[in-house]
Amino acid sequence: MMKHSIKTGFSFGLTSGIITTLGLMVGLHSGTRSRLVVIGGILIIAIADAFSDALGIHISEESENKHTTKEIWESTISTFLSKFVIALTFIIPLLLFQLPKAIIVSMVWGLSLLGIFSFYIAKEQKIKPWKVIVEHILIAIIVIIITHHIGDWIGSTFG
């Protein structure tokens, strides 16, 4: 059984790592069609957003005024590490495939991870997994669709 503080950070970092990185990748790809720009975006997300999310969890946990300093730091570090590592995994398809295929592989990878984690959450809460999985994947797909259209708009307007 994972400690609550570590589970909090891991859950947040994993989910944010998947959705933020996919949204960024899809938007940058549709706006620039540049592998270099997409890889650069992922590296920036892996560092800047991982620190931002970790600090956000840190402050949120502090504000609840019910966690020990150790628990707060466990949540902070697990948020950073999970976000950082998950975001970096999206570089692998970009190194192995042409950009359009890498984006598709990344979407499959990210949505699969999200589905597996959603299944785990549902089982732990003893609720129907399909409802949780559909809800979480639907949110991720909405982010992907919106960022794709924003990227297209930016590319056609300013490109």
Report domain extents, the chain.
4-158
Q: Could you list the pLDDT tens digit for every one of the 159 residues in the chain? A: 789 999 999 999 999 999 999 999 999 999 999 999 999 999 999 999 999 999 999 999 999 999 999 999 999 999 999 999 999 999 999 999 999 999 999 999 999 999 999 999 999 999 999 999 999 999 999 999 999 999 999 999 997
- What is the value of pTM for the model shown? 0.94
pLDDT of 2 reads 83
pLDDT of 159 reads 79
Q: How far apart are CA 93 and CA 89, in angstroms?
A: 8
Q: How far apart are CA 120 and CA 104, in angstroms?
A: 24
Closest CA to 29 of 111, 158, 148, 156: 148
Q: How far apart are CA 48 and CA 96, in angstroms?
A: 25
